Copies of this chain bind each other. A is one copy, B any other.
Amino acid sequence: MTETTPGWLAPEELEMTRARMPILYVDAVPVRVDDSGEVTHVGLLLRIGPDGTVSRALVSGRVLHHERVRDALLRHLEKDLGPVALPRIPASLQPFTVAEYFPTQGITPYHDPRQHAVSLAYVVPVAGDCMPRQDALDLVWFTPQEASSPQLQADMPGGQGFLLKQALAHVGCAP
């Protein structure tokens, strides 16, 4: 069987590339907003890792070959929040920050043991119903204050807790 889809990488090719190149990612912080655009809630995915540890995560994933950043955002949001979440992808691609996940700890606030990933991070208002699928167990909405709590921050590994705090600071939500 031959794989001919452009942008597709065989597992061993992905491994090799991960050891040689920074991999382009997008991170999306799903939020509920009121009519004036103010963020009222932040959505976090609940994941259970292979070793049974519970963690919370933002919507995150690779940008594929020949895929626009906005299409990657849409694809990952649909994959994680379901087909009727109605995400409002920003009109401008200017991210609120660029998160550099290094395989080595301590170089930046972000860490990914698998790879060097560079992620464009966006706040994405979501207007519809969210029905997590794939490997996520659940999507839970938190107030900005709850999302800043040390307890919840501790459940977000690899610097995603800090990335969430950066998103909240960007939209003006005090802890």
Residue ranges of A at the interface with B (Cβ–Cβ < 8 Å)? 6-9, 13, 16-17, 19-24, 31, 33, 35-39, 63-71, 73-74, 88-98, 100, 102-104, 107-109, 116, 118, 120, 123, 125, 159, 162, 165-166, 169-175
Contact = CB atoms under 8 A, between A and B. Distances in A.
A99 B118 CA distance: 15
Contacts of A92: 96-97, 123, 170-172
A104 B67 CA distance: 11
Contact of A93 (B23, B93, B97, B162): B97
Counted per complex, copies of this chain come to 4
In this complex, the member of A37, A159, A165, A169 whose beta carbon has the largest number of chain B beta carbons within 10 angstroms is A37
Given A6-B20, A88-B125, 13 more contacts: A7-B20, A31-B91, A33-B91, A35-B74, A35-B89, A36-B89, A37-B89, A93-B171, A94-B97, A95-B98, A97-B172, A109-B172, A166-B169
Contacts of A6: 19-20
Nearest to A170: B92
Given A169-B165, A172-B93, A24 B118 contact: yes
Nearest to A67: B22
A69 B118 contact: yes
A120 B92 CA distance: 13
Contacts of A23: 21
A107 to B, nearest CB: 7
A21 B19 contact: no
